[in-house]
Amino acid sequence: MPLFAFFAYKKAEKNDNPFLNKKFDTPFEVPPFEKIMAAHFKPAYLKGFEEQNKEVKAIINNPAEPTFENTIKALEYSDELLTKVSRVFGSVNSANTNDSLQAINREMAPLLSRHRDNINLNDSLFRRIKAVYENGDKFKLTSEEKKVLDDTYKNFIRSGAALSPEDQDKLRKINEELSLLSVRFGQNLLAETNGFKLIIENQEDLSGLPESVKAQAASMAKSLNMDGKWVFTLQVPSMTPFLQYSDRRDLREKLFTGYFMKGDNDNEFDNKAIIARIARLRVERSKLLGYDSYADFTLEKNMAKTPEIVLDFLKQVWSAAVPVAKAEVAVQQELIDREGGKFKLEPWDWWYYTEKIKKEKYDLDDEVTRPYFKIDNVIEGMFYVANRLYRLDFKERTDIPKYHPDVKTFEVTRDSKHVGILMIDNYPRSSKRGGAWCGAYRGQSRDKNGKMIYPVVTMVTNSTPPAADKPALLTSTEAETLFHEFGHALHQLLSNSTYPGVSGTSVARDFVELPSQIMEHWVLEPEVLKVYAKHFQTGEIIPAEIVDKLDRSSKFNTGFATVEFLAAALLDMEYHTLTEPADLNIREFENKTLDKYGLLPEIKPRYRSTYFNHIWAGGYASGYYSYYWSEMLDADAFQAFKETGDIFNKEVAAKFEEEILSKGGTREPLEMYIAFRGKEPGVDALLINRGLK
């Protein structure tokens, strides 16, 4: 049983709750996972509520005139225990959950919502905040303090502080219900993902699959006590190779259908009613707060500012991508016809025929490159880039607690001085949600007295695991994902803020992907490949001809990749630009939306509604576009390095750290970007980067 899950089921003794100690008694105060039990979380949450309520009461009852120090700063540091327990619970529940943790999540979600509302809707507290905001010029505030003050005031307004008591009551009920619905959505999705398995019993049904893929499936079967069989799951490292290589079209259809019907099977884990309710409540909430739609409410804080700007941006890219995707469809259909296949290209055929065309055109496929992308080497490659750019060093530590045996932990230093802790958790398991993400068990900030608090960062992926006698060998896309999440980690590790509310990745949603996506540009740079892309058996550096093929094929299939993403982003915007509450039929709404924009029938959106965790449970509602918005930024930002002729240019790297990575959310994102680049970005950089112009 995974490490944390074992302790989750132990009975907690009285007075042994690690969260209730002043500090964690561990190296660098990393959470003592081996001592944390499921039974500790609720008491710690309740104590956190109690402590913050006392702090807030003290702020309200302070007889002195409201100042930044006695109101805004005091509020900023009022939730230390609650933040500590919330960060640990949220991170472990995402990466290594179990029934106990899921039950706690369902119980605590409405309590957290109620607690937040009790603070955000406290009229006495808001009057003090408003007084400081309206008299801000009287105080000698730093630029960071001005941003914290502005954010605090606006967040209270956006949370309903200025509403009538009757409308505040309505808002409380909506917030509480939404908190539970999001939890239920995520738990249903995990159950649906774990519930589907393609079990193969006959060797002939493996036709076309490479040996490495068969070995991976056999290893999965063995772990499920199905020795002698092969099991494929809906986890991407298992599913994608099957879709790429299997000659069995019927089995490809079965596996792909299992994937795109997640949450839409009219069973106990169906998400359609949950989505319809969330969408309705978000409209009602936005209307209460004075906004036309949820997108208007959300985007006010982003770089894009309005739904109209976002939709115009998405349509520009859509118009450039659809003709490219149509050309790709034609090439695939031609190949099907040439081979004598008497059928029309369907979504479950795309990966298979794309792989054939890629092999034919470039003599390249994932099985050619995998031996050179051993996961440990890829991680060393990430560290090499960070060292060249930011002088960071990474030393593996085995004396630090971890929540699962798969986790690798590194101390990060610069010039021999501690910077933070980085935990890397790479392989799929039933206790981990899908996808990849980066979080923090502790964020960077300074305490009330100005002492530095160093971050404890976690980056989580679902990469191809080891199989049989081979180590974990990645595709180039999986290597890119590692670099991407590492970019988020660097944003947190190099943060140099004072206040926790504006540190690290606490930035606008459509700016947060810039630090992650710019890191992807180094993955296939020849200078970097020479460092880490070494054959796992011979140690041979990846041959120049393979590097050349990777470069020439980098824009291959770009129509598909762009259109499937944009279809999901447009679906997100259609849900969240609704201006009136409606009882949606989710299948009907989704189909109408995709027909409206002319999605090709051969392509499904990257995320259908019922498994679109980003927007229903992941904080990206009316913000999924932000990955491409940030690509507009990162493509332009990487040019700052390329223009110097040195992808490790120290001056450019120092400026990127100073103006972007270290600043967190202490300035407006466009101000930060212009301070780094000297100009605003444009959509052309994105189109060129994607090979669409």
Q: Measure the CA–CA gap between 190 and 97, rounded to whole angstroms.
A: 10
Q: Measure the CA–CA gap between 584 and 449, rounded to whole angstroms.
A: 52
Confidence band, pLDDT 50/70/90 cuts, at residue 467: confident
Q: Measure the CA–CA gap between 185 and 182, rounded to whole angstroms.
A: 5
- The DSSP element (H or E) to which 132 belongs, if any, is helix 123-134
| Residue the block writes with tokens 């059928």 | 343
Digit-coded pLDDT (tens) for 619-639? 999 999 999 999 999 999 999
Q: Is residue 10 over pLDDT 90?
A: no
Mean pLDDT for all residues in the chain: 96
What angle (nearest 5°) sits at the alpha carbon of residue 590, between those of residues 589 and 592?
A: 65
Answer whether 256's CB lies under 8 Å from 228's CB: no
| Residue the block writes with tokens 């010029």 | 137
Long-range contacts of 407-416 (CB under 8 A, 24+ apart): 408/379, 409/30, 411/28, 412/493, 414/390, 415/391
* 547 beta partners: none
Instruction: Output the pTM of the full model.
Output: 0.96
Q: Is residue 306 over pLDDT 50?
A: yes
Q: Is residue 30 over pLDDT 60?
A: yes
Is the CA virtual torsion 94, 97, 103, 104 positive or negative?
negative
Digit-coded pLDDT (tens) for 593-613? 999 999 999 999 999 999 999
128 torsion bin: left (phi>0), alpha (psi -120 to 50), beta (else): alpha
* 534 beta partners: 541
Residues whose CB is less than 8 angstroms from the CB of residue 606 and which lie 6 or more positions away in sequence, other chains included: 564, 565, 567, 568
Q: Measure the CA–CA gap between 462 and 402, rounded to whole angstroms.
A: 18
- Provide the strand spans (E) within 118-243: 197-200, 230-233
- Mean pLDDT over 472-488 rounds to 97
- Mean pLDDT over 380-392 rounds to 98
Q: Measure the CA–CA gap between 159 and 41, rounded to whole angstroms.
A: 26
Q: Is residue 247 over pLDDT 60?
A: yes
In this prediction, residue 469 carries a pLDDT of 84
Q: Are strands 445-446 and 452-453 parallel, antiparallel or unpaired?
A: antiparallel
In this prediction, residue 541 carries a pLDDT of 97
- Mean pLDDT over 534-544 rounds to 97
Answer whether 320's CB lies under 8 Å from 692's CB: yes
In this prediction, residue 3 carries a pLDDT of 42
- Mean pLDDT over 25-49 rounds to 97
In this prediction, residue 15 carries a pLDDT of 64
- Mean pLDDT over 270-293 rounds to 98
Q: Is residue 8 over pLDDT 70?
A: no
Closest C-alpha to 401, from 27, 18, 14, 125: 27
Domains detected in the chain: 3-162 (1.10.1370.40), 196-260 (no CATH), 272-364+558-624 (1.10.1370.10), 371-552+627-689 (1.10.1370.40)
Q: Measure the CA–CA gap between 276 and 240, rounded to whole angstroms.
A: 30
Burial-class residue 10 by CB neighbours within 10 Å (0-12, 13-18, 19+). Answer: exposed
Digit-coded pLDDT (tens) for 644-672? 999 999 999 999 999 999 999 999 999 99
- Mean pLDDT over 436-450 rounds to 97
Q: Measure the CA–CA gap between 629 and 122, rounded to whole angstroms.
A: 36
In this prediction, residue 399 carries a pLDDT of 97
- Mean pLDDT over 51-60 rounds to 98
Q: Measure the CA–CA gap between 564 and 562, rounded to whole angstroms.
A: 6
Digit-coded pLDDT (tens) for 176-217? 999 999 999 999 999 999 999 999 999 999 999 999 999 999
Closest C-alpha to 558, from 253, 326, 235, 246: 326
Question: What is the three-class DSSP state of 282?
Answer: helix
Tokens in use for 371? 């031996």
Q: For residue 144, how many other CB atoms are within 10 A of its CB?
A: 18
Q: Is residue 11 over pLDDT 70?
A: no
Q: Is residue 444 over pLDDT 60?
A: yes
Tokens in use for 369? 């490159």
DSSP letter string over 150-172?
HHHHHHHHHTTTTS-HHHHHHHH
- Mean pLDDT over 10-19 rounds to 68
Answer whether 505's CB lies under 8 Å from 512's CB: yes
Q: Are strands 417-425 and 408-414 parallel, antiparallel or unpaired?
A: antiparallel
13 torsion bin: left (phi>0), alpha (psi -120 to 50), beta (else): beta
Question: What does R_g of the chain's alpha carbons equal in angstroms?
Answer: 25
Q: Measure the CA–CA gap between 286 and 294, rounded to whole angstroms.
A: 5
Q: Is residue 169 over pLDDT 80?
A: yes
Mutual orientation of helices 350-362 and 307-338 as an angle, nearest 10°?
70
Q: Is residue 1 over pLDDT 70?
A: no
Q: Is residue 547 over pLDDT 90?
A: yes
Q: What percent of the chain has pLDDT over 70?
A: 98
Digit-coded pLDDT (tens) for 73-130? 999 999 999 999 999 999 999 999 999 999 999 999 999 999 999 999 999 999 999 9
DSSP letter string over 442-495?
E--EE-TTS-EE--EEEEE--PPPPBTTB--B--HHHHHHHHHHHHHHHHHHT-
Burial-class residue 451 by CB neighbours within 10 Å (0-12, 13-18, 19+). Answer: exposed
Q: Measure the CA–CA gap between 241 and 465, rounded to whole angstroms.
A: 13
Q: Which residues are the active-site residues? A: 485
Q: Is residue 68 over pLDDT 90?
A: yes
Answer whether 158's CB lies under 8 Å from 91's CB: no
Cα 142 to chain center, whole Å?
A: 31
Answer whether 72's CB lies under 8 Å from 152's CB: yes
Tokens in use for 688? 């060129």
